[in-house]
Structure 1
Amino acid sequence: MTRGDYERRMVRAGRAAADAGLAGLIVTPGPDLVWLCGYRPTAVTERLTALVIEPGRKPRLLVPVLERPDAERAAGAGALAIAGWSDGTDPCAELGKWLVPQGRYGVSDGMWALHLLGLQRSVPGGGYAALTEVLPMLRAVKDAYEVERLAAAGAAADAAYQDVLGVRFAGRRECDVAGDLARLLIEHGHSQVDFTVVGSGPNGADPHHEAGERVIQDGDMVVLDFGGLKDGYGSDTSRTVHVGEPGAEERTVHEVVREAQQAAFEAVRPGIACQDVDRVARRVITSAGYGEYFIHRTGHGIGVTTHEPPYLVEGEHLPLVPGMCFSIEPGIYLPGRFGVRIEDIVVCTESGGRRLNVTGRELAVVA
């Protein structure tokens, strides 16, 4: 990524703000700031850092004066006007001087309440709305560079899965296998591991189970869900394995989830509403009699963070467009017994969906 790349992103964001009827955007540390200008503060504290993007104006970045040298080294810094504020002054008042009086601004979802309340005091009559609410498409559509990075992250996660199939499961704790997954993600090029879900037996019925001390036993179904960041872009994949030969019900439930995941993937095309992809997966699972056990949305967007718009969920009417990247991850969770989830990252193309995870979706048997 070059200065010009970041400059184009900020211009695009300014135009999107204008189209949405906003005076501009106020972006604080987090994925939006990294995506827009390449700046990731070394420490996110109570000290205000804020990027202001307004249509037709050069973007401005307000930072604590002690962090200004770091900000000036960011990849997109050359496209910014950077100003520092000193301890003992009111940064919200300084930021308020930049804003249009009575203007309505989109602000980062993760902006500290401390700062938002400070702005409301400093700029009476101003209005603010969450970026996800007013500009859900800001980072949702990926360019070729971003798809390439996501594909590389997906391939690295696939390689980690292939390797973990060869480790011992039975007789080891969930946290031991989670440690294997984390190590393998790093070995295959990840710079950051965000999560390693290992849900064995009844723990697999908890979709976000945190790997713990339970000893994995012969006969367990084990849900594996893992990912992180590679070269600044996310991976996220799930597969379900069985320790030893599975029984008939376990095979049946896994096959229902596999069919639902495949049907949802085949439904991906430009123009289809996000909620309709969810409906396709849910219809397969409900028809098989397990509808009440599919307890989460079908998918979420992914990019410089592992969860972002679009969301494949009932009530989301946003249409898919080429370049959107998201997970497809239906599941069935039988309380006290076991769970099954299969997840791939998919990119919408002009001709349909393209999977960025290509490992087998069959029920793998491990030792």
Structure 2
Amino acid sequence: MNSLREANTRTNAERLEIARNALVSARIDALMCRLPENVLMLSGHWPLCGDAVLVFPAEGNMVCIVPETQVEEVSAEIWDAQILAYAHGRHDSPDQEREIERCLIDLANKNSWKTIGYEGTFEGIAAPGNVAEPRVPSKRFEQLLKSATSKATFIDAQELLDLLRKTKTAWEIEKIRLANEIANIGFEVFFEMVDAGRSAIELAAAVEQAIMVKGTGYKKARRVRAFAQVAVGKDETLAGWRPFEVTTNRKLQKGELAILELAVVADGYWADRTRVRVAGSASPELQRLSDIVKQAQDAAISAIYPGVCASKIDKQARGIISKNGLENEFVHITGHGVGFRYHEGYPILAPGSSQALLPNAIVTVEPGVYLPDFGGIRIEDDIVVTSEGPEILAPFSRQLS
């Protein structure tokens, strides 16, 4: 093992210990994972094309099965693991599924696993490095796993994996912080470029280009992608409460709003941020609305601490907005988990949510208001839950103009 991998393995001893203890408690001898976020969490490798298969045992070193064309990149990222490579990608290469099965049969013959956990009921997934073509562990892949390890009993490990992803280690928090710092590169461009005559697609393209050009190599980040969604004008930003923006070629007019919904992934770790900007100077009413949203975000963030009920945080943001007579204009939740995916299911900051925030969870806080006469205003940042109080990852200006 090279010195970098040794250092990474030592740094991630916390994650490895947590995962192995969870397997022992669940009486699972090994996990077999293919989803990029689970492979990343357990091994440090962000799959390039989604075809890495990670075997993570309760005892002993993990094994990562990958095409031989990916060995160089996998070796640069993965922690203490054996890499099993198979021929793939050439015109005369063997069938990929059969090669994966061959590797799994070899591993099963060398071990005495009785119970194996697999990704049985995941629906949403995080993208691999090649975001254009993610791979989903299907029923066919499940059958391949069971065929290769026929002596073992298989159980769905979704709940266990979800539990592991609820909190982040110190290493993971720093990686997510890095993604947030790179997101700020995009905010800088957005703030500079929002002006009358700029189109939404022009703004989105400039943000993505800056993040990928300047973010790649930033603090040793190897693989960086950005997903900028921009809505401009009253009608488009009014619909900005949806979990997506439709980026058009509409051009900003003086005094109009532009919302940037921004996802950034750096080496597999995600940031989810939003800023809004006005073309030219903000009117007094737009400035008032922006100030209300900022106050709501501040109130929600200040309520974040270990053990707090998620609905209480939502209540803080919603209370500020309601006090200003805008309760019907805040139509979405206050926040959600983030880190191994763009949107994670824990925690959810919403009315009625009974989830308690765990130490070292990461959550977005993103209140907003949407009025037909003005459009939509939303501000979003990623927050770490700590015993010392909430920590905003990579703060950035919230000024409207």
Matched with 1:210 is: 246
Which of these residues, 205, 218, 240, is aligned with residue 276 of structure 2? 240
TM-score by length of 2: 0.75
1:140, distance to aligned residue in structure 2 (A): 3.6
Is 1:12 matched with 2:14?
Answer: no
Encode CA deviations 1:105-127: one digit per residue, 9 max, x unaligned.
45583442131354467759632
Task: Output the CA distance in 2 between the equivalents of 1:43 and 1:104.
Answer: 22
Structure 1 unaligned segments of length 5 or more: list them.
none
**Is contact 2:33–2:118 with CA below 8 Å preserved after alignment?**
no
Distance 1:175 1:328, change over 3 A: same
State percent identity of aligned pairs. 25
Distance 1:252 1:19, change over 3 A: farther
Task: Output the CA distance in 1 between the equivalents of 2:153 and 2:165.
Answer: 29
1:14, distance to aligned residue in structure 2 (A): 1.9
Distance 1:71 1:188, change over 3 A: closer
Encode CA deviations 1:273-315: one digit per residue, 9 max, x unaligned.
3333223223333444433433333223333543335333336
**Is contact 1:267–1:280 with CA below 8 Å preserved after alignment?**
yes
Task: Output the CA distance in 1 between the equivalents of 2:57 and 2:312.
Answer: 35
Matched with 1:330 is: 367
Matched with 2:137 is: 112
RMSD: 3.4
Task: Output the CA distance in 2 between the equivalents of 1:294 and 1:286.
Answer: 9
Question: Which one-letter code corresponds to 2:394 in the other structure?
Answer: N
Is 1:195 matched with 2:227?
Answer: yes
Distance 1:158 1:222, change over 3 A: same
Which of these residues, 29, 38, 48, is aligned with residue 32 of structure 1? 38
Task: Output the CA distance in 2 between the equivalents of 1:94 and 1:159.
Answer: 43
For 1:300-311, what aligned pairs fall within 5 Å after superposition?
300-311=336-347
Task: Output the CA distance in 1 between the equivalents of 2:47 and 2:117.
Answer: 26
Structure 2 unaligned segments of length 5 or more: list them.
1-6, 88-93, 126-135, 217-222
1:326 aligns to what SS in structure 2? strand
2:164 aligns to what SS in structure 1? coil
Matched with 1:54 is: 57
Matched with 1:141 is: 167
Distance 1:104 1:161, change over 3 A: closer
Q: Which region of structure 1 is more displaced relative to structure 2, 68-77 or 133-142? A: 68-77
1:306 aligns to what SS in structure 2? coil
Question: Which one-letter code corresponds to 1:186 in the other structure?
Answer: M
1:38, distance to aligned residue in structure 2 (A): 2.9
For 1:273-352, what aligned pairs fall within 5 Å after superposition?
273-314=309-350, 316-334=353-371, 338-352=375-389
Task: Output the CA distance in 2 between the equivalents of 1:34 and 1:189.
Answer: 20
**Is contact 2:310–2:353 with CA below 8 Å preserved after alignment?**
yes
Task: Output the CA distance in 2 between the equivalents of 1:77 and 1:251.
Answer: 49
1:339, distance to aligned residue in structure 2 (A): 0.8
2:226 aligns to what SS in structure 1? strand
Encode CA deviations 1:205-228: one digit per residue, 9 max, x unaligned.
233113211111112111122241
Matched with 1:42 is: 48
Q: Tell me the matched-pair count.
A: 358
**Is contact 1:221–1:240 with CA below 8 Å preserved after alignment?**
yes
